[in-house]
Amino acid sequence: MNTGRWLKNQWDRTVAVVATLVGGLAILLGWLGASDAKLTTEQLPYLASGAVFGLFALGVGATLWLSADLRDEWRKLDEINQGLRAERERSR
Amino acid sequence: MNASATRPWTPDHVVRFAVGNAVGLVLVAAGWWQMADLGVVRDQLTWFVVALAGLGVAGVTNGTWLLRGLRAVTAARAEMTDALASRRTAAAPVSTNGAGYVAAPATARYHRSGCALVAGRPVEAAGRARHEAAGRRPCEACRP
């Protein structure tokens, strides 16, 4: 399977990885910015743009990755259930 | 159980997920934007709370989304277990010598003789009262 098709089929895992990287980068940049700022009033905005936005992005990333796992598991179970239903119909 | 009725996420859920996270992002951005313009810590903290509220909105949205998916998977798993249990019961009942129900040694549940969860395992047959006296409870799949 080529990369483009994989990215399209696994769009949620792709977005999850991107969101996690963005979140990690935001936290790192927020920390660097806050450590360079002298005044508390200069540091606080970095807390919002770095820590809060970083946690937001990490949360979205984790959610999308877990939901991709749940979707895959549900699809497999649904295939099995469809097979069992078809078998039950045939035996009637 | 109709599988399509328990599909993990309908388009409606996708919209709610997107809107919830968008609202969360807007609140985080608004909090940051306003904080950057203020020179007093007390005023900044008010907007910091707005940013935290955005994080909370996104958290609740994402938690609800995952819970919905988990419920759908649990329902599909239960449907599969029930179907397998009834298939085993119909296909190859294990002899219990009239003793009623079976359980594998050192396990916490007793089962109908045809339950898929004991298929192929060494089991001992006994009546309900004896299993319950041994501290076992009924299997959730075959519901003896």
Residues of A in contact with B72 (CB under 8 A): 70, 74
What is the Rg, in whole angstroms, of the alpha carbon atoms belonging to chain A? Answer: 22
Instruction: Say yes or no for a CB contact (<8 Å) between A67 and B59.
Output: no
Instruction: Say yes or no for a CB contact (<8 Å) between A52 and B55.
Output: yes
- Name the residue ranges covered by the structural domains of chain A: 3-65
The pTM is what? 0.71
Instruction: Say yes or no for a CB contact (<8 Å) between B21 and A60.
Output: yes
For residue B12, the tally of other CB atoms under 10 A from its CB is 8
Q: Residue-wise pLDDT tens for chain B (144 aa)?
A: 444 445 789 999 999 999 999 999 999 999 999 998 888 999 999 999 999 999 999 999 999 999 999 999 999 999 888 888 777 666 555 555 556 788 988 888 888 888 878 877 888 888 888 888 889 999 888 888
Instruction: Say yes or no for a CB contact (<8 Å) between B35 and A44.
Output: yes
CB A56, CB B55: distance < 8 Å: yes
Rounded CA-CA distance A46/B31 in Å is: 11
Q: Which of A48, A63, A66 sits opposite B28 (nearest CB)?
A: A48
| Strand-strand pairing, B109-110 and B137-138 | parallel
